[in-house]
Chains A and B, each alone.
Chain A
Amino acid sequence: MLTYIIVVFYFGIIAFLGWKGYRTTTGALDYMVGGRKIHPYIMAMSYGATFISTSAIVGFGGAAGVFGMGLLWLTFLNIFFGIFLAFVVFGSRTRQMGHHLDAHTFPELLGIRYKSRFIQGFSGLVIFLFMPLYTAAVIIGAAKFLSAQFGIPYEVSLFGFSTIVAIYVIMGGLKGVMYTDAFQGSIMLLGMIFLIFFTYNRLGGVVPSHRALTDMGGLVPPPLRAGGHQGWTSMPSFGSPMWWTLVSTIIMGVGIGVLALPQLVVRFMTVRSKRELNRAVLIGGIFILMMTGVAFVVGSLTNVYFHRNIDNLEFVTVTTVTEAGEPVTSPPMLAAFAPDPAPGVEIRPSETSSIALLAANRDVDSIIPAYIRHGLPRWFGVVFMLTLLAAAMSTISSQFHAMGTSIGRDFYEKGLGRGRRRAYSSVLVTKAGIFLGIVLSVFLGYWLELTFGGTGMEIIARGTAIFFGLCASTFLAMYFGGLFTRRITRAGAIAGMMTGFFVSAFWLLFVHMAESRALRLSQYLFGRPSLLEGVRTGFIFWQEVDPLFVAFPLAVIVTIVVSLATRPLPREHLDYCFEGIG
């Protein structure tokens, strides 16, 4: 009953703030058009709510349950690159150049800067086609949590949540109403502050809980140990498969990718002046620490909680019979994750507990939801559910915003040269694009879980990392070059963009084992899951190296080399682009 009261209350406030936003036009843009001030807290909270989602908290928090505290390197990169560097170095120039060139999307900024409709159209298409992967990651995170919280099947919670998202979008959720976002950001902040205090307190304090986690090093399951896992307070062994996944995909992919994220770039343009960016650095730094830092520490510490609490939790083992007639017994898992009773499946109470990954029956994305459900007071589960709904909703609205403008404005209007600005056909394509984006995201949410669920793969973290890595490889070289130097030519930008995109795609399809094995194209064409299967060069284990590590450096080199060999853009155009920037 309490659950329903709190949920109704939450949606009541969201609806009220949304209505207030429409009535009194308190959208960020209205404020700035009117030259009014926005409190920096409101502004920073609304940024934070846009960028942190269930992907970070549930997905990467769950990955921390597997990999351990090494994920804190990602928090460091998020704060240093994603906030400090992005806001201080990229933010102001992006805002100035964006306004001067009258660019309203990331592809449009690049397209006008390099005088290329192709760049704008191609970038728009890449964002539209691949962003559903990131949206799916956010949706999976929310659905996993709702599933654990209400004890309902994943499919039910996925389609239930998707319906809420669809209603939210139809009701105008894509309109950035600052107070709604700021309210959601504040809920997230309070929820995470409570989570870290409660967790540390329950496990005996900061130092004792870290020591307890270190002491569990001997409990690392043999398959993880063979992959390079050395305990949850150590990095995986250098050059091992787990090291490459953690460092090249999870830490670097997301840590660097955040610099070229389309929604972030557009957000820079919606601020009034450099002063707002400076102020947002202060609050944003704290916000990211409290979101990702807390999620990763708590994710790691769930191992201590599940291991210790044999008396409070119900662990079971599941025995099944293989085709060869051999009985196989699973490690202890939480009873909630045991399959339904069926002939040939024997479920027995277990007298031993488990680490987080096994307690959640190898479902990485269920580690955080299971901890919240079983390890924290019931009322907190409800509050945290609101935290996650808030995180998911605010991010999803920015994702659909980006998808819609990418396909309508960038690809259809500019790339194809069809339809004029504000034309009916263009608006129609945008709306159809958003609808298609929703359908595709939900389908991916269903298919990814069906294909990889319960295999020990961190679906949310990898889905997010693929999109972030692709953005960095495709856009970062020309984005950076476009803001800071006049020497990058149109040909250089296009060559770098194509290199980044196609090398990433090739690596994903044919080399990077995690994806190439699942997509099966390499197996079908070449008879092996990865073209570089088992190949090592020194410490480089090629099949585990993330596409970003190969595609981004190549994109930078190609951008520079082609630019040196081709003629710069006309001087007048460059003067116009850099007017007032220097």
Chain B
Amino acid sequence: MFGIEAPSIWLAYLLCVLSTVLCVVYGIINWNRGRGEIKPEDKTWLEEEKEIEESL
């Protein structure tokens, strides 16, 4: 496959492509899923993270 004889190599090549396809399909299916409301704790966290960044 792909001009490569050793199965241990063409399999890796194939799995790279297939795992990317898996990521693409998963991303498309779940594109709009999982949107949670921002809770007060998220906001507190983000504000403090910003402070840490500023101090660096």
Tell me the residues in window 10-43 of chain B with beta carbons closer than 8 Å to chain A beta carbons.
12-13, 15-17, 19-20, 22-24, 26-28, 30-36, 38-39, 41-43
Complex contact B2–A70 (CB within 8 A):
no
In the complex formed, the residue of B with least CB distance to A232 is: B9
**A104–B26 alpha-carbon span in the complex (Å):** 28
Complex contact A102–B34 (CB within 8 A):
no
Point out which of B35, B41, B45 has the most chain A C-beta atoms below 10 A from its C-beta: B45
Across chains A and B, the number of contacting residue pairs, with CB separation under 8 Å, is 160
In the complex formed, the residue of B with least CB distance to A175 is: B53
Contacts of A430 in B (CB 8 A): 55-56
| With known contacts A79-B16, A174-B56, A279–B50 Cβ distance under 8 A | no
| With known contacts A98-B45, A284-B23, A72–B16 Cβ distance under 8 A | yes
Nearest CB on B from A343, distance (A): 47
| With known contacts A84-B26, A207-B2, A214-B3, A35–B38 Cβ distance under 8 A | yes
**A237–B13 alpha-carbon span in the complex (Å):** 19
Complex contact A278–B26 (CB within 8 A):
yes
| With known contacts A69-B9, A289-B16, A430-B56, A104–B49 Cβ distance under 8 A | yes
**Does A575 reach chain B (CB closer than 8 Å)?**
no
**A32–B45 alpha-carbon span in the complex (Å):** 11
Say which residue of B34, B47, B48, B50 sits within 8 Å of A278 (CB atoms): B34
Contacts of B51 in A (CB 8 A): 422
Tell me the residues in window 383-428 of chain A with beta carbons closer than 8 Å to chain B beta carbons.
401, 404-405, 409, 422, 427
**A160–B35 alpha-carbon span in the complex (Å):** 45
Complex contact B49–A29 (CB within 8 A):
yes
Complex contact B33–A207 (CB within 8 A):
no
Instruction: List the one stretch of A265-273, A488-496, A536-544 in contact with chain B.
Output: A265-273
Nearest CB on A from B22, distance (A): 6
**A83–B28 alpha-carbon span in the complex (Å):** 15
Q: What's the interface size class on A, roughly?
A: 35 or more
Complex contact A273–B48 (CB within 8 A):
no
Say which residue of A35, A176, A235 sits within 8 Å of B9 (CB atoms): A235
**Does A80 reach chain B (CB closer than 8 Å)?**
yes
**Does A225 reach chain B (CB closer than 8 Å)?**
no
Question: How many residues belonging to B are interface residues under a CB distance threshold of 8 Å?
Answer: 45
Nearest CB on A from B43, distance (A): 7
Complex contact B34–A273 (CB within 8 A):
yes
Contacts of A30 in B (CB 8 A): 50
Contacts of A280 in B (CB 8 A): 27
| With known contacts A174-B53, A273-B34, A79–B19 Cβ distance under 8 A | yes
**Does A208 reach chain B (CB closer than 8 Å)?**
yes
**Does A263 reach chain B (CB closer than 8 Å)?**
no
Nearest CB on A from B2, distance (A): 6
Complex contact B43–A33 (CB within 8 A):
yes
Complex contact B38–A73 (CB within 8 A):
no
In the complex formed, the residue of A with least CB distance to B36 is: A273
**A270–B51 alpha-carbon span in the complex (Å):** 13
**Does A124 reach chain B (CB closer than 8 Å)?**
no
Say which residue of B24, B31, B41 sits within 8 Å of A99 (CB atoms): B41
**A233–B6 alpha-carbon span in the complex (Å):** 7
Complex contact B2–A210 (CB within 8 A):
yes
30 A-B contact pairs sorted by A residue (CB < 8 Å)? A29-B46, A30-B50, A32-B38, A33-B47, A69-B4, A69-B9, A69-B13, A70-B8, A76-B19, A84-B23, A99-B45, A100-B41, A175-B56, A233-B5, A235-B6, A235-B8, A269-B49, A270-B49, A273-B36, A275-B35, A278-B27, A278-B30, A279-B27, A279-B31, A282-B23, A282-B28, A282-B31, A283-B27, A289-B17, A289-B20
B residues at A contact (CB < 8 Å) = 2-6, 8-9, 12-13, 15-17, 19-20, 22-24, 26-28, 30-36, 38-39, 41-56
The 7 closest A-B pairs by CB, nearest first: A282-B27, A285-B23, A274-B34, A207-B3, A210-B3, A278-B30, A72-B12
